[in-house]
Chains A and B, each alone.
Chain A
């Protein structure tokens, strides 16, 4: 061994997954295609059976016709538990302890790769939130330390919680919708994917500080409702939670539902298309830039290669913009009745993109979360790099299960993408039935179906190529 080995001080990404085999990707693409048209054929039959008086009224505030939540099965004892004060206090404490630990390693930890701050920031927080929310429901809303601190400030101001976390102003969600969260989502993905010093302590610490400041000021100005629309993590988490089995009925009781029924309760708000496009577009960009043709192009001798950093910055915006453009085109290319404005369609149908995003996120991040999540847990026992073992996890070793089972991993990835696609197509069908005029029901769905097939096949291609 003639090489001089030295552990690197910085860098979060190590070995990556092998590409998905071509035949698996093609098979999945064909499955997605077939299922899409089966769902469409199903629509044709349903249209013929449908009652004649389906003429939807769509309110301009973005509320869909599906206002009455599907009931689902109530789980009394569990509902009473998660709505109890004790549970709330425990969850708030969990969130505050996580924040306290993160602040500790951010302020007093070493600027080294072994500092758990990087894993906490990029893996536990950003990726873990997706897996946790898909399984458990809106977790970030429950533990969010910014909500806890905001409530504590209210309390100190003498606001005894009587007016339920109201701020100085009313947050106008029909006007601003999710747009504030989009700023945060872009800020995070820029940090994760573009910024060259993203594995140094200083920038990560600064990012977290700015996030906390923005959230606490926002919470005081617009009340706790601000977080549901402006906290990028809460928006991400609550969107993914709509694919979990945990929902709330009209009387706010905990119910068990199928993910599709749960997704049907997602009220489209202004900016939802943009949220979904940013989440999907940035991950697609992340996959795309690792593909060999693009890599060779950006390292070659051409104008883009000479301004690679600028090109990366632009691409971070252009990819979501392209996703949004395709989606808007796909939803608006339909006949509409007199009482339906074409421009409302992207927003009304945007919830159907959520499963496609979730499927691709799972495919993209599964092994990274598995390995990186464990590595972070091990590092967390030794926050200051002095050999201590706080939680007894310090001497664990990472299980590389997925790396040693590349076929299983590839199958899980394409399955996640295809299941996401199926749920998306069925959900868009259900929404189309509720939204589109009856005579345009079948033809109106075709452009959207083609768009969704395009997203899914594109995603599968990138799993194969990158």
Chain B
């Protein structure tokens, strides 16, 4: 009995307090109209950024400005997944807009590295 009460009590407590949703908008350039620009630089075996988290608003497009010393492709692990090819030199790639909130990994499978994690909310 005491256990059941404790479980139920916590349930009420957590749902009650947790619902104070944080609807504050993300960073400075978070408006849905202009795309989020992310500069990506490939150089040999390394890539910058290196696994950073980037906030993206729902409905906002993401533009990767890729500077690379060789052609390759980046994988966007959204649902469904996307594959974007770039050439040596500078390539602009646009994905989105993403409507479903969530965390989307953007990877280079050739380097086996995560470039950014897009945090859509």
Q: Could you tell me which A residues sit within 8 Å of B by CB distance?
A: 1-8, 11, 13-19, 21, 23-24, 27-28, 31, 35, 38, 42, 113, 196, 258, 260, 292, 295-296, 299-301, 308, 371, 400, 403-404, 406-407, 410-411, 414-415, 418-419, 422-423, 426
Contact = CB atoms under 8 A, between A and B. Distances in A.
Contacts of B18: 21, 23-24, 27, 407, 410-411, 414
Interface string B1-26: 01110110011011101111110000
Contacts of A2: 92-94
B114 interface: yes
A419 B93 CA distance: 45
Given A3-B95, A15-B104, A406-B101, A419 B10 contact: yes
Given A16-B102, A31-B14, A296-B51, A3 B82 contact: yes
Contacts of A18: 101-103, 119-121
Contacts of B114: 295, 299
B117 interface: yes
A414 B19 CA distance: 12
A415 B79 contact: no
20 contacts: A3-B85, A3-B95, A5-B82, A6-B83, A7-B81, A14-B79, A14-B80, A15-B77, A15-B102, A15-B120, A18-B102, A18-B119, A24-B14, A31-B10, A296-B50, A371-B79, A418-B10, A422-B3, A422-B6, A422-B7
Contact of A299 (B19, B51, B53, B105): B51
Nearest to B15: A411
Contacts of B103: 15-19
A226 B46 CA distance: 50
B64 to A, nearest CB: 8
Interface in B65-97: 75, 77-85, 92-95
Contacts of A419: 7, 10-11
B17 to A, nearest CB: 6
Contact of A260 (B3, B11, B102): B3
A404 B117 CA distance: 19
Contact of A295 (B46, B51, B100): B51
A1 B93 CA distance: 8
A455 to B, nearest CB: 17
A258 B117 CA distance: 42
B52 A11 contact: no
A13 B6 contact: no
Interface in B32-75: 46, 50-53, 75
Nearest to A5: B82
Contact of A292 (B7, B51, B81): B51
Given A11-B81, A292-B53, A295-B114, 19 more contacts: A3-B93, A5-B84, A6-B83, A8-B75, A8-B82, A14-B77, A14-B78, A14-B81, A15-B103, A18-B102, A21-B22, A292-B117, A299-B50, A371-B79, A404-B100, A410-B18, A411-B18, A415-B14, A415-B15
Contacts of B13: 27, 31
Q: Which of A42, A371, A419 has the most CB of B within 10 A?
A: A419
Contacts of A13: 77
B14 to A, nearest CB: 5
Contact of A8 (B10, B83, B92, B94): B83
Q: Which of A8, A15, A27, A419 has the most CB of B within 10 A?
A: A15
